[in-house]
A = this chain, B = another copy of it.
Amino acid sequence: MTAHSLQKAPTGKDIMDAQSRIASFIHKTPVFTSKAFDAMSNKSCLLKGEHLQKTGAFKARGAMNAVLIHRDSAQVSGFITHSSGNHGAALSWAAEQIGAPAYIVMPSNAPQAKIDAVKEYGGLITFCDPTLEARELTAAELQRSTGALFIHPYDNYDVIAGQATATLELLQEHPDLEWLFIPVGGGGLLAGASLANYYFGKAKVVGCEPSNADDAYKSFISKTRVSVKTPNTIADGLRTSLGVRNFPIILDHVNDIILLSEEELENAWHICLSRTKQFIEPSAASGIAAALKHQSTGKAGIMLCGGNMNTSQFALR
């Protein structure tokens, strides 16, 4: 099968192809349930454990799909990104699977835990000043000198198709889901989930966003893409603003976006820890917080998008 990079929003077939393409590399993640949580949320909830995915986040799916699509291209001699979050580690891991180099541009003030994660998966780090301009300039220079291909963390149809497979996997096991609660940052996961549901499900899709990073909510309401400068939320994976390619998909296929306070996110994180014993990152708590807040009943899927956070502040003694 010769694969081509997608030039428009993924179709149902594109998502199925992505699933087959990445199947031997990624984990089919388990689903967690809790009677106590069902009682609290007044729903029957299925928590999709993407925090147990390779590299600790759903990002492995999109990165692997993009890398495999470009594997056979003679022009590609590696991959580049300037994400310092889960995508940087995921792209490093995905490139390593096919023996290609991954060049990760990171700000000089990136947390040690994120630097370590990229290094662990063999990513080659180039540090730059902590400004967007410096990151883009450094990535462009690297691209010229290495011939490597830039893979955007979310504003990329191949990545969106890969992220869609998390929801497809859940819908294949539970086609009767009535609600999907999906965290939204740049919109790769939410765009993918809403497309997977459009083609293979019948749920209403609810984007879950911190009130302190409410660009997707504002964009969704006004139908005009807006961004939020320096959002201040514990959900570090959701601080980014919607991508150009992600926004129209979300407008077309998402039913609602719900905003969560920092208190609601922290409460949801604790409930997840105590009730399911699953350690998730604060971004992943947004789906749980939304399911608790949303006035609805029925069978709901909640995407636990990742589990990467520093644990050093959790002292036992």
Interface residues of A (CB under 8 A from B): 30, 36, 51-52, 56, 120, 234, 262, 265-266, 269-270, 273-274, 277-280, 282, 307, 311-317
Contacts and interface: CB of A to CB of B under 8 A. Distances in A.
Contacts of A311: 270, 273-274
- Copies of this protein chain in the complex: 2
12 contacts: A266-B315, A266-B316, A266-B317, A269-B316, A270-B311, A270-B314, A273-B279, A273-B314, A277-B280, A279-B279, A282-B316, A313-B314
Contacts of A282: 316
A315 B311 CA distance: 11
A36 B117 CA distance: 12
A316 B52 contact: no
Contacts of A52: 277
Contacts of A30: 30
B317 A277 contact: no
Nearest to A265: B316
Contacts of A234: 316-317
A277 B274 contact: no
A112 to B, nearest CB: 13
A56 B316 contact: no
A278 B279 CA distance: 6
A222 B307 CA distance: 45
Contacts of A262: 317
B56 A277 contact: yes
Contacts of A307: 277
A234 B262 CA distance: 30
Given A52-B277, A269-B316, A273-B279, 11 more contacts: A51-B277, A266-B316, A270-B311, A270-B314, A273-B311, A273-B314, A277-B280, A277-B307, A278-B278, A279-B279, A313-B314
